[in-house]
Amino acid sequence: MDFRDSGGFYMKTNNWFLKGLTKLGRTEKFPSEKFEAKSQVNEKVKSEKFMPFNKSLHLYSIDSGACGACNMELQAISTPHYDMNRLGLFFTNTPRHADALIILGVHSERMVEVLEKAYNAMPKPKLIISLGDCALSGGLIGECPEISGKSVVNIPGCPPNPYAILEGIIKAKEVSSK
């Protein structure tokens, strides 16, 4: 494409923005055929509540005592290979705008209050998802945060890969809306 055409409109052909847009990596199709879903629904929590999240789901994550790998894999779902937004999933920067609280890492004394305050600040209806072995059982490191017992869905793995995370979040959205 020559940017000098089109009615005198001129733009440098080496413009990084356009180059980036045209060369940017493509989002992949969800690999359903070879994907083994591992997330577990917490039936007890699920049957207690009805939470209509039919369309989008806004996520707020808290690191209670993670090594950083779960944090990186969660963040990866927003990147081009995975593109969470196409599935109606969005990160928010405050619990006040969040539908789901995602917990990463093991129990740590000083994060207990932080987790509770964030959960209380979320508008209803709201749900919790535990991500990674540390958050759902303590894994190899310690104990899990107490609040993760309220999780609708647990996503195991150390760390779970971005597809496993997407699958778990979508499952949480679906089971909560039924």
- Tell me which residues touch ligand SF4 (CB under 6 A): 66-67, 69-70, 104-105, 132-134, 139, 141, 158-159
Distance CA 15, CA 4 (A): 13
Shortest Cβ 94–another protein spacing (Å): 7
Considering CB distances under 5 to 8 angstroms, the limit depending on partner class, which of ligand SF4, another protein, none binds residue 76? Answer: another protein
φ/ψ of 157, rounded to 5, equals 130, 155
* Contacted by 129, from ligand SF4, another protein, none: CB < 5 to 8 Å by type: none
Site membership for another protein, residue 137 (CB under 8 A): no
Residue choice 46, 53, 63, 127 for contact with another protein (CB under 8 A): 63
Whole-Å CA distances, 94 to 30, 55, 85, 157: 29, 20, 18, 26
Question: Residues 90, 95, 101, CA angle at the centre, nearest 5°?
Answer: 70
**For residues 107 and 27, what is the distance between their CA atoms, to the nearest angstrom?**
35
93 contributes a contact to another protein by CB under 8 A: yes
Task: Please state the φ and ψ torsions of residue 33, each to the nearest 5 degrees.
Answer: -60, -45
Please list the residues that pair with 104 across neighbouring strands.
Answer: 63, 131
80 binds, among ligand SF4, another protein, none (CB under 5 to 8 A by kind): another protein
SS3 label, residue 89: strand
Consecutive H or E run containing 155? strand 153-155
Smaller CB separation from ligand SF4, 122 or 155: 155
Q: Residue 95 or residue 132: which is nearer to ligand SF4 going by CB?
A: 132
- Backbone phi, then psi, for 84, in 5-degree steps? -60, -30
* Shortest separation between residue 50's beta carbon and another protein, angstroms: 28
Query: Which of 105/172 has CB closer to another protein?
Result: 105
Pick between residue 106 and residue 127 the one whose CB is nearest to another protein: 106
Is the Cβ of residue 98 or residue 164 nearer to ligand SF4 in the bound state?
164
